[in-house]
Amino acid sequence: MKDTMDTVKLNTGSDMPIVGLGTFKLRGQELVVQTVETALKLGYRSIDTAAVYRNEKDIAIALKQFCPKYDIERNNLFITSKLAPKDQGYEEAKAAVLKSLESLGLEYLDLYLVHWPGKQGMLREDERNRQYRKDTWRALEELHQGGRLRAIGVSNYTVRHMKELLGHCQVKPAVLQIEHHPELQQTELISLCGEHGIHFQAYSSLGTGKLVSHPAVLETATKYNRTPGQILLRWAVQRGVGVIPKSTNPQHLKDNIHVFDFTLEEEDMGRLDSLDSGMHYCWDPQHVA
């Protein structure tokens, strides 16, 4: 069985690696540069960042230094960043995209996501959030059409937010990135994304680390002689769900990308499926107007 990276074809026609390097809470130039180098050396070609992670400039240093060293062309990289909630709005979003491009030292981003459905500083229930989302999306559509954003998408959108966006957009989102793991499967969102050709991508695949000690996960890991993290990531990618696990540990980085040389049997997939309880370990966007 193969051990090379699977890709998913986005509705733009572009291929995106199904496993990427997550960089949430990855801070400090030395650690960022070291982690990105290790990841590139191991075969990662997708890096997921965001304006609010405040590490875009350090990622740029790593890319500039190590892409030539490992003979990696720009067109073989897939770089994602995200709009900070404070930058929701037409003009604000346009300026924010250009700032992220400058920070990352890039001419274009492979994917750019609206990080959160609400605008920072506003109450969740404030109806003006809807108009800000709409204006933001128009800005991203223009930057997409201008070639600065190869694909655009959203993060932390609920079914309601997605239906609203699909009702007015000129360009459909290519990706929805949201919390997803056996205890929070978001089946209605997966189904909606499938209907509209939107790739469903998970963050917090390990339940912020809580699920690696779940008995069902541990028993499955023992059965396949794999780590609990590999079991949770394999469960997602076997369903075609993208993942962006974050680690600074070289062994974990290696393990996280080696999930293509084994397959979970249906009964084991079913056992993990049965854990769904609607458990959020991160933020719940349900109450954002």
- Indicate which residues carry an active-site annotation: 53
Please, are residues 169 and 191 in contact by the beta-carbon 8 Å criterion? Answer: no
SS3 of 118, please? coil
- Among positive and negative, which fits the CA dihedral 235, 113, 101, 204? negative
Residue 9 β-bridge partners: 15
Lookup: tokens for 48: 């997921």
CB 255 within 8 A of CB 43: no
For residues 29 and 176, give the distance between their C-alpha atoms in angstroms, rounded to a whole number.
29
- In 3D space, the residue among 34, 111, 44, 42 whose CA is nearest the CA of residue 65 turns out to be 34
Q: Are 59 and 91 in contact (CB under 8 A)?
A: no
- CA-CA distance, 80 to 65, in Å (whole number)? 19
Please tell me the distance from the alpha carbon of residue 242 to that of residue 81, in angstroms, as a whole number.
16
Backbone angles phi, psi at 282, to 5 degrees: -115, -140
Amino acid at 206: L
Amino acid at 169: C
Separation CA 191–CA 97 (nearest Å): 30
| Six-digit token string for 266 | 């249906």
Q: Are 134 and 169 within 8 A, CB to CB?
A: no
